[in-house]
Chain A
Amino acid sequence: MTESEKQNALESIALIKTLVDRSHREITHAGSGWICIIWGLYALLGYAGSHLLHHWHSYALAGWWWPFLSLFGFAASVLVIRRKAATRSSKLKGSLTGWFMLFWIPLILLMAALIALCVLLPDLPMKYITPFVLLVVSAGYLMIGLMFHKSLLVMGFLGLAGTFVTTVFFIEHAGPILSLLFGLGLIVTGLLLNRRR
């Protein structure tokens, strides 16, 4: 066997390893970066918009702000999935749809918890609403992370820890702190996931 044949074998194995690893990574994180960025912006714009509208006494508009943004986030996520899935394999399509669904399960949990909150604790002070909302969402990500995705587990854990610390030590500023924490956290995660591809 010549040296060049041996070298060729080593190069071929290295090529296989690189492409197989890259494809596995792509399946795991397909489109998740953009979905994280969309929901990170959702958290930041949601809080900022709602705060400004309250400040300008536009209470009716403030009430519609979050549902409007939710629709926008939903539409943008669907667009990401459609664009990615149009040119890629069915395995990637499945992974993308999975990511999208995983983001929504905690929000559905949140809606159920908010309805329960309105019925059971109608007099809860406003300052506790954001920590409550984020505790529920984080718990949702933690549960889903335990079952499916390690990155969601980390997100859930950091969310719970961040919410707990903010509620105990900075409850008066919980709204802006937690919106920044979650919004920027998701955007940074999204950018990192996009760079890893």
Chain B
Amino acid sequence: MAEHLSTRLDKVLTQKARLGIMSILMVLEEADFNHLKDKLGLTDGNLSTHLGLLEDAKYIRIRKTFAGKKPKTSCLITERGRRAFLEHMNTLEKIIRSIPGA
């Protein structure tokens, strides 16, 4: 049963930085690149890599616009991302409940 549970965890979301990005987007729905960088304490390159992986999984959508002359990157959570996050959290809770005394 326990073995089965750990295999049900979403591979994309097992990484803490990606889980952090998705946690923020679950509440805000949309967040600016700098906001995520600031909240998660990641470097530009690191954050870009994680966002790329989340985008490949179709969990987020990346929108590039201009605020005046400055380029602005916004990340939006998709319905698929929302479902994956909830499922992942559900599995995590089941794993924790399976711990004796937790």
Q: Are A13 and B96 in contact (CB under 8 A)?
A: yes
Complex interface: chain B residues within 8 A of A195 (CB): none
- If A5-B6, A9-B92 touch, whether A16 touches B23 (CB-CB below 8 Å) is yes
A88 touches B35 (CB 8 A): yes
Expressed in whole angstroms, the minimum distance between the Cβ of B32 and any Cβ of chain A is 5
A39-69 contacts to B (CB < 8 Å): none
**Total residues of chain A contacting the partner, CB 8 A:** 24
Q: Contact partner of A87 among B20, B24, B35, B95, CB < 8 A?
A: B35
Once bound together, how far apart are the Cα atoms of A16 and B93, in whole Å? 12
The answer to whether A19 touches B98, judged by C-beta atoms less than 8 angstroms apart, is no
B residues near A, CB below 8 A? Answer: 2-3, 5-6, 14, 16, 19-20, 23-24, 26-32, 34-35, 39, 67, 74, 89, 92-93, 95-96, 98-99, 102
Q: Is the CB of A13 within 8 A of B89?
A: yes
Contact B35 A16 (CB under 8 A): no
**Smallest CB gap from B1: residue in A:** A1
22 A-B residue pairs with Cβ-Cβ distance under 8 Å, sorted by A, are A1-B6, A1-B98, A6-B99, A8-B14, A9-B95, A10-B96, A12-B14, A12-B16, A16-B19, A16-B89, A19-B23, A19-B24, A19-B27, A20-B23, A23-B23, A23-B24, A27-B27, A88-B31, A88-B32, A89-B35, A91-B30, A92-B28
